Chains A and B, each alone.
Chain A
Amino acid sequence: MFIIRFFHFLIGYVIFKAEDGFPERFINLCARGGIPVWDIKCRGGVLFGKTSIKGYHAISEPAKKSGMNVSVCRSIGVPFFLRKYRRRAGLLAGLCVFAVFILLMSGTIWSIKVEGNSAVSESEIIDVMDKVGIKPGIKAKKINAAEAERRALELLPGLQWLAVNIEGSTVVIEVRERIAGEEREDYVHPHHIVAAQDGVIQILETYEGTEISKNGSAVAKGDLIISGITENKDSSVTFHHAKGYVAARVKTTLAAQAARERDAQRLCGTKYRLTLIILNIKIPPRAAKAAAGAELYESTRWLYAGDKCLPVGYVMHRSLFYEDTSKKYTENEQRLIALRGLLTQTANEFRRSEILSQTSALEKTERGMKATGEFTALRNIGLERPFSVRETNEEEEE
């Protein structure tokens, strides 16, 4: 129904009023004459109806034959609207300019959004995208997404996967980061598993290779635990990428120092500068530079209409001025700093280990306070170490 009403609005229609005469005859004559008449109401002896513009021109004949007086109540639709403003050329020109402006602007990239990053910063990714040719102000048609993705991945080693999606005037960069320590396993070269540190083996599970050490045996750093060389029954040897799990009880000592005094910087002044960005044009155009002895921070904010980013925003440049000073700590502060240092080290060191026992001590030193912790923990000490194999022929052996 909405479509029909919209269509009527587009082509224009007239609401008319017909009085006196014979309304039934008038309706029949209209129907017979092919005049489109709809929404015919009869209220208090007066007939109201709607007809097309062409229909209204043809309606006079049935009206005359049926003795009805037809008059226009309202004219609705686009043709009447345009007719009303036909003498206002400026309005039409403005409409055309607006349409062209929208057409041109909608084909241009105005903002870049990064999704899925945490370790690699957004600004780093945006800088790289700038290098590969994706920046605000370029035409969406000119973007070669596949090529940009390939080049950006080469320049961002912290990323495992990157996708460039164009959504209207926004480029959405979707990324997946590489997990720290995640490396492709080397199945080509044979490996041994050796002890990464001194300890007593508590759990030893061998998945591939030859077990050298036993459960309960003490190993020093670098000792062979699982060998990548397996001797076969026919005295030949096979080289493996040794695999296994070696959990050993290890002793570790950690220490954190807190100084009585340390050099510090005190904030003595802040200076702000604002740069407006409208359609990728910066006002004022010259880039902000850090003043001598100041640190410059920039933050960009964009204007949003709902969830759509508009090409209008500002950059706030904040220059922070510092002066050198020294800070003295009280004994209590020193103790807290030392303990906090020890706690941080413990958390980092035993992230993937189980602490079995621990002792900690605080002592005063010449420079301040020292916190020491001795830990006994259960941890995986298996470290893969590659070894080289050289093929020799029998003659060479002799």
Chain B
Amino acid sequence: MAWNRAKRAVGKIGCATERISDELELPKNVMPGVVHIEMNGNKEAVVDGCRGVLEYDENIIRLNTGKLIVKFTGSRLMIKTLSLNQALVCGNIVSVDFSN
């Protein structure tokens, strides 16, 4: 019960910050908790705000970015570097999926 209430409160705060950034026309990546993904063709993707690896395979890499789960599918995928909040995914990326 309390957990649901807290979850709803956090969701409301999230909505509020999103609305503020929309009103002030601020770039989305300056807001806290927003994942920043930069792709170089389909060979490399830099994920800023990565909080952990959920699934790691040659063909699928799923990363936890807090609000979202980013799923890279392709072939010969690898994590080139991994630090506390950044991951560099390399390989032949075929698709990127987002889920909550």
Chain A residues packing against B (C-beta within 8 Å): 23-24, 27-28, 30-32, 34, 37-44, 47
- Give every chain A residue within 8 A of B82 (Cβ-Cβ): 27, 30-31, 37-38, 40
Point out the residues of chain A lying under 8 angstroms from B81, CB to CB: 38
- CB contacts (< 8 Å) of B56 on chain A: these are 23-24, 27, 40, 42, 47
Q: Is the CB of B79 within 8 A of A27?
A: yes
Give the B interface residue count (CB, 8 A). Answer: 15
Question: Given A32-B84, A43-B58 in contact, is the A24-B78 Cβ separation under 8 Å?
Answer: no
Closest A residue to B86 using CB positions: A31
| Between-chain CB contacts (< 8 Å), 19 pairs | A24-B53, A24-B56, A27-B56, A28-B53, A31-B52, A31-B82, A31-B83, A32-B84, A38-B80, A38-B81, A38-B82, A39-B78, A39-B80, A40-B80, A41-B58, A42-B56, A42-B57, A43-B58, A47-B56
* CB within 8 Å of A: which B69-93 residues: 77-84
A47 and B83 alpha carbons, distance in the complex (Å): 17
Asked if B55 is at the interface (CB within 8 A of a chain A CB), the reply is: yes
B54 within 8 A of A: yes
Q: Is the CB of A42 within 8 A of B83?
A: no
Known: A37-B82, A39-B78, A40-B82. A28 touches B52 (CB 8 A): yes
* Contact call A40/B58, Cβ cutoff below 8 A: no
Nearest CB in chain A to that of B55: its residue? A24
Q: Which residues of B contact A44 (CB under 8 A)?
A: 58
The smallest beta-carbon distance between B85 and chain A, in angstroms, is 9
Give the 6 A-B residue pairs with the shortest CB-CB distance, closest first.
Answer: A40-B79, A28-B52, A41-B78, A24-B53, A27-B53, A38-B81
List chain A residues, Cβ under 8 A from B58. 41-44
Binary interface encoding of chain B residues 42-64 relative to chain A, with 1 for a CB under 8 A from any of its CBs, else 0: 00000000001111111000000
B8 vs chain A, min Cβ distance (A): 28
User: In the bound complex, how far is the Cα of B81 from the Cα of A30, in angstroms?
Assistant: 11
Please, how many angstroms separate the alpha-carbon atoms of A37 and B55 in the complex?
Answer: 17
Distance in angstroms between the alpha carbons of A44 and B76 in the assembled complex: 11
Residue of A at shortest CB range from B81?
A: A38
CA distance A32 to B77 in the complex (A): 22
A27 to B53, CA, bound (A): 7
Which residues of the partner chain B approach A28 to less than 8 Å between Cβ atoms?
52-53
Across the interface, name the chain A residue whose C-beta is closest to B59.
A42
A28–B84 Cα gap in the complex (Å)? 9
Q: Which residues of B contact A24 (CB under 8 A)?
A: 52-56
Contacts of A32 in B (CB 8 A): 84
Give the shortest distance, in Å, between B78 (CB) and chain A (any CB): 4
| C-alpha gap A40/B83 in the complex (Å) | 12
Other A-B pairs beyond A28-B53, A31-B83, 20, CB < 8 Å: A24-B52, A24-B55, A24-B56, A27-B53, A27-B56, A27-B79, A27-B82, A31-B53, A31-B82, A37-B82, A38-B80, A38-B81, A38-B82, A39-B78, A41-B58, A42-B56, A42-B57, A42-B78, A43-B58, A47-B56
CA distance A390 to B24 in the complex (A): 98
Q: Which residues of B contact A27 (CB under 8 A)?
A: 53, 56, 79, 82
A302 to chain B, nearest CB (A): 51
Q: How far does the alpha carbon of A42 sit from the alpha carbon of B59 in the complex, in Å?
A: 9
Residues of chain A lying within 8 A (CB to CB) of residue B55: 24
Contacts of A31 in B (CB 8 A): 52-53, 82-84
A199, chain B: closest CB distance, angstroms:
86
Report the nearest B residue to A38, measured CB to CB.
B81
Residues of chain B with a CB closer than 8 A to A43's CB: 58
A34–B83 CA distance with the chains assembled, in angstroms: 7
Expressed in whole angstroms, the Cα–Cα distance for A121 and B36 within the complex equals: 72
> Which residues of B lie under 8 Å from residue A23 when comparing CB positions?
56
Which A residues are in CB contact (< 8 Å) with B79? 27, 40
Chain A residues near B78 (CB-CB < 8 A): 39-42
A31 to B56, alpha carbons, bound, how many Å? 14
B15 to chain A, nearest CB (A): 29
The closest CB in chain B to the CB of A44 belongs to: B58
Closest Cβ of chain A: how far from B87's Cβ, in Å?
Answer: 8
User: Hey, which chain A residues are within 8 Å of B57, CB to CB?
Assistant: 42
Taken together as a complex, chains A and B put the C-alpha atoms of A31 and B52 apart, in Å, by: 8
Bound form: Cα–Cα A350–B58 in Å: 89
Q: Which residue of B lies closest to A32 (CB)?
A: B84
Q: Give the residue name and chain of the B residue nearest to A40 (CB).
A: B79
